[in-house]
Each structure stands twice: as structure tokens, then as C-alpha cells.
Structure 1
Amino acid sequence: MKLSVFTVATPDLVPEELANAAADAGIESIEWRFKEVPADAAEEKPSFWRHNRCSMDPGGTQEDWLGFREAADKYERRSLAVVPYLSCGDVEATEKVMQAAKLIGASFIRAGIPGYDRKRNYNELYDQAVQYLHEVEELAAAYGVKALVETHHLTIAPSAGLAHRLVSHFNPQHIGVLYDPGNMVYEGYENYRMGLELLGPYLAHVHVKNGGYRKTPSVDGTSAVWSAEWSALSEGAVPWRQVIQDLQSVGYDGYYGIEDFSGTFESREMLVRFAEQMNEWTDHKQSV
């Protein structure tokens, strides 16, 4: 089983510390977060989405970006991906991420897709995304870097089915899907094996995290609100042992990338426990 870490989940570690921790945990590849740290966050406690000390700055120089590859190389880790937060339609920013990915030898980036908040019609957003992905496909072919659509809540691709509808227009060598069952706790659940069978050659990468549900009673006691929240890998609603079996059933042999937002463990211990947990869940006879 091939393991990776998306550095959004390790905000307290600088690149070299992260690469060292990944090596110690037996995690062979790194997905580098591609996002600036806001100026007003620099003195804050490290956090996933603001003061993340393991982020490539889009405004950095090529020399700055190469520092991330050098950190990985020092500990014989692979730079697997550059993962940005792109807006759908921003082709210029997308090409910049492609350039960064090619520079450090990464295999893929995450494409931008529209969010969905009931303010715009899904069909308009879908057409916008398809038009954008046609341009992304050309960039992917030119740079030799695959662009992935992530199954993500609050977007037009929360499920395998809706992600497939988007990417099915394109060559799976250039456009694929980042399958994230943890996000599908929030929105987008489908039978895992059915969704994976549908994705077929578009299945390119898997993110590993977990979440569950919390019931909050109303003040008057006549109704309740259910909300999703992140949880430890072994304690959430995603049955990861089953999901891994389903992934094996469709011949998936790619990476499993940790993206744990539960805060259950500090970063170094989280990486070690992730590797241990994945080994426990894996059917060794099938994976050898």
C-alpha cells in the first residue's frame, strides 16, 4: 500500500520537518499545500487553513518552490502533488500551479470547480466547469501533470457520480478524480464500490480522513439539527476497511493520502498512527 500526506493536515511542521516525519512513519510521498499564509496569520498558532507552515507560496520564486522538492529529496520522499485552492475558470492561476508541479516533479494538481450554495443554477455551473476543464486538459497535456476533480461537499461534485459526469468529457490520462469518502460524510454519499466502478480509469487518487454526525436539539425541543464534523480515522462514519476492499476490487493501486482534520493527535503521531491503521485495515494477501 502506497501512502502520502497532504500538508494541509500538518500545519505545525516546516517542509523539512514534515519530510522527516513522513520518512519516520513510512509514508513515501508528499502532497504540498499551495496557498499563501495571510500576513495577519503569521503570529497565530499553526492551523490547517491560515498559519500553515508547510505551504508553498503561489507568490514565491522557483527557488522557493524547489526548496520543497529538496526537503522531500533529503529524506528520500517523493513530491506527489501540488494542491491549490483554485477558482473555476482561472486558467492563468491553474497554469502557475502546473508550472510549480512540473518544477518539483509532482504528478498531479487539484483543479478548481464551482461551489454550490443555491444561488446559481447547477446546470450553469456545470457548463462553466466543463468549459474550464477543456482548457485545463490542454495544460495538463502540455505540462505532463494530471488535474484532479475532488469529491467535495458544497461543490457541484460532492459524489462519485457527479464528479464522473464532469470528467467523462475528458481523457483520463489528463483529467481524473480525487476520491474522498471523508468529504462524502458531509455530502455526496453513494455506495462506495458502485461509485468506484463508475469512475473506472478516472480514479486517480484517494484522500483518507473520517467524520461523523452530531445531533443538536432545538431550544424548544420540538426539532433537531444534524451536522457533520471531523473525527479520528477509526471512529467516523466511513467504514475504511470496506472502502479499501472496494478500492482493491476495482484494481486501484495508487496512493492513500492522509488529510486528518480531527486534531486527535499532534502531527508526527498522527502520521505514525495513520500508517499503522492503514496496515491494520489492509488485506495483506490481496495487496502483496
Structure 2
Amino acid sequence: MKMSVFTVATPDLQPEQLAKAAADAGIEGIEWRFKEIPPGAEEEQPSFWRHNQCSMDPGGTEQDWLRFKQAAELHGRQSIAVVPYLTCGDLAETEKVMRAAKLVGASFIRAGIPAYNRSVNYNELYEQAVKYLLEVEDLAAAYDVKALVETHHNTITPSAGLTYRLVSHCSPQHVGVLYDPGNMVHEGYENYRMGLELLGPYLAHVHVKNGGYRKHPSEDGSEATWTGEWTPLAQGAVPWRQVIQDLKSVGYDGYFGIEDFSGTYDSTEMLLRFAEQMKQWSEDKQFA
């Protein structure tokens, strides 16, 4: 089993610290977050999406970006991805990310997919995304860097089925799917094996996290609302033992990338526990 870490989940570590912690945990691959720190956030405590100290700055120079490649190589790790937060249709920024990925030796990036919030018809958003992704496919071929579409709640690709509908317009050589069962807790659940069988050659990477729902009864108990939240890896709704077996059944041999947002452990301990847990699950005789 090959493991990686998406550095959005390790905001308190500098790149060199992250690479060492990954090496100590036996995690081979690094997915570098590609996002600037907002003005004023550097004064805040480290956080996943604001003061993330383990992020490549899109406004940086190539020398700035090479720091991340050098940090990985210093500790014998491989930079496998550069992961941005792209807007669907922004080809200039998409090409910038491709260039950064090529520079650090990464093999894939994350493409930009429209959000869905009921304000624009899905069919219109879908057509926009198809047009963009076909153009991204050409960039991916030119840079030899695969573009991945993530299964993600609150977008037009929350499920394996809807993601397949989009990427099927492209060649799996250049466009693939980042399969994230943790996101599918919040929206997009389908039988895992069925979805993986559908994705076929488009399945390119897997993110590992977990989540669940919390019930909020009204004061009089007559109604209730539910909110999604992140949980520790072994305590959420995703049955990871089964998912690992389902991935094996379709011949998946790529990376499992940790993206734990539960905040249960500090970054270094989180990486160690992730590696131990994945090894335990992958060796489970019940699913061997």
C-alpha cells in the first residue's frame, strides 16, 4: 500500500518538517497545497484553510516552488501532486499549476469544478465544465501532468456517477478522478464498489478521511436538523476496511492520501496513526 499526505491537513508544519514527519511515518508521497495565505492570516494560529504553513504560494517564483521539491527529496519523499483551488474555466491559472507540478516532479493536479448551490441550473454548469475539462485535457497532454476531478460535496461532482459523467468526455490518460469517500458522507454516497467499477480507468487517486452527522433537536423535540462534521479516521461513517477491499477488487494500486480534518491529533501524530491504521486495515484477514 502506497500512502501520501495532502498538506492542507498539516498546517502547522513547514515543508521540511512535513517531509521528515512523512518519512518517519513511512508515507512516501506528498501532495502540496497550492494556495496563498490571506492577508493578515499569518498572525493567526495555523489552520487548514487560512494560515497553512505547508502551502505553495501561487504568487511565488519558481525558486520558491522548488523549495517544496527539495524538502521532499531531502527526506527521500516524492512530490506526487500540486493541489490548487481552481475556478472552472480559468485556463491561465490551470496552466500555472501544471507548470508548478512539472517543476516539482508531480504527476497530477486537481482541476476546477463548478460549485452547486441551487443558484444556477446544473445543466448549464455541466456544459461549462465539459468545455473547460476538454481544454484542460490538452494542457495535461502538453505538460504530461494528469488533471483530476474530485468527488466533492457542494459541487456538480459529489458522486462517482456524476463525476464519471463529466470525465467520460476525456481520455483517462490525461484526466482522472480523485475518489474521496469522506466527502461522500456529506453528499454523493453510492455503493463504493459499484462506483469504483463505473470509474474504471479514470480512478487515479484516493483521499482518506472520515465524517458523520450530528443531530440537533429543536427545543420542543418536534423537529431536528442534521449537520455534517469531520471525525477521526476510524470513527466515521466510511467503512474503510470495506472501501479498501473494494479498491483492491478493481485493481487499484495508487496512493492513499491522508486528509484528516478532525483535529484529533497534532500533525506529526496524525501521520503516524494514519500509517498504522491503514496497515492494519490492509492486512485485515477478514478482507484479505
Which category of TM-score, normalised to the shorter sequence, fits these structures?
Answer: over 0.9
Give the secondary-structure state (helix, strand or coil) at the position aligned to 1:11. coil
Who is 2:184 aligned against?
Answer: 184
Deviation at 1:284, TM superposition (A): 7.0
Q: Any idea what SS the aligned residue of 1:32 has?
A: strand
**Residue 6 of structure 1: how far off its partner (Å):** 0.1
Match of 1:140 in 2: 140
Deviations 1:178-213 (A, max 9, x none): 000000000000000000000000000000000011
**Within 2, Cα distance between the matches of 1:52 and 1:70?**
19
Query: Match of 1:98?
Result: 98
Q: Which residue of 1 aligns with 2:235?
A: 235
Tell me the residue number matched to 2:173.
173
Instruction: Show structure 1 runs of 5+ residues with no match.
Output: none
- For residues 74 and 60 of structure 1, what CA distance do their matches in structure 2 show? 21
What is the 5 A alignment of 1:123-272? 123-272=123-272
After TM superposition, the structure 1 = structure 2 runs for residues 1-12 of structure 1, keeping only pairs within 5 Å, are 1-12=1-12
What secondary structure does 2:230 align onto? strand
Write the distance in 1 (CA, Å) between the matches of 2:188 and 2:165: 14
Aligned-residue Cα RMSD (Å) equals 1.3
> What amino acid does structure 1 have at the position aligned with 2:47?
S
What secondary structure, in the 3-state scheme, does the structure 2 residue paired with 1:19 have?
helix
Instruction: Find the counterpart in structure 2 of residue 118 from structure 1.
Output: 118
Q: Specify the SS of the correspondent of 1:207.
A: strand
Match of 1:39, SS state, is: coil
Q: SS where residue 275 of structure 2 aligns?
A: helix
CA distance in 2, matches of 1:138, 1:122: 25
Deviation at 1:33, TM superposition (A): 0.1
**Separation of aligned partners in 2, 1:214 and 1:284:** 29
Partner of 1:49: 49
Alpha-carbon distance in structure 2 between the residues aligned to 1:286 and 1:241: 9
Paired letter, 2:191: N
**CA apart distance, 1:55:** 0.2
2:103 partner letter? L
Residue 67 of structure 1 aligns to a residue whose secondary structure is helix
Work out the CA distance in 1 between the residues paired with 2:218 and 2:195: 35
Residue 228 of structure 1 and its aligned partner are, at CA, apart by 1.1
Question: Does the CA contact (< 8 Å) of 2:151 and 2:180 recur in 1?
Answer: yes
Native 8 Å contact 2:192 2:243 kept in 1? yes
Which AA in structure 2 matches 1:83? Answer: V
Q: Deviations over 1:261-288 (max 9, x none)?
A: 0001000000000000000000378999
Match for 2:215: what amino acid?
Answer: K
Aligned residues: 288
1:75 maps to 2:75: yes
1:19 corresponding residue in structure 2: 19
After superposition, the Cα gap between the structure-2 partners of 1:238 and 1:109, relative to the gap in structure 1 and judged at 3 Å, is same
Give the secondary structure class of the aligned counterpart of 1:109.
strand
Distance (whole Å) between structure 1 residues aligned to residue 37 and residue 135 of structure 2: 28
SS of residue matched to 2:86: coil
Deviation, structure 1 residue 220: 3.3
Q: 1:50, 1:286 → 2: CA distance?
A: 41
Indicate the residue corresponding to 2:28 in structure 1. Answer: 28
Task: Tell me the distance in 2 between the aligned counterparts of 1:231 and 1:253.
Answer: 26
* Correspondence 1:65 to 2:57: no
Partner of 1:40: 40
Aligned-partner residue type, residue 264 of structure 1: T
Whether contact under 8 Å (2:245, 2:287) holds in the other structure is: no
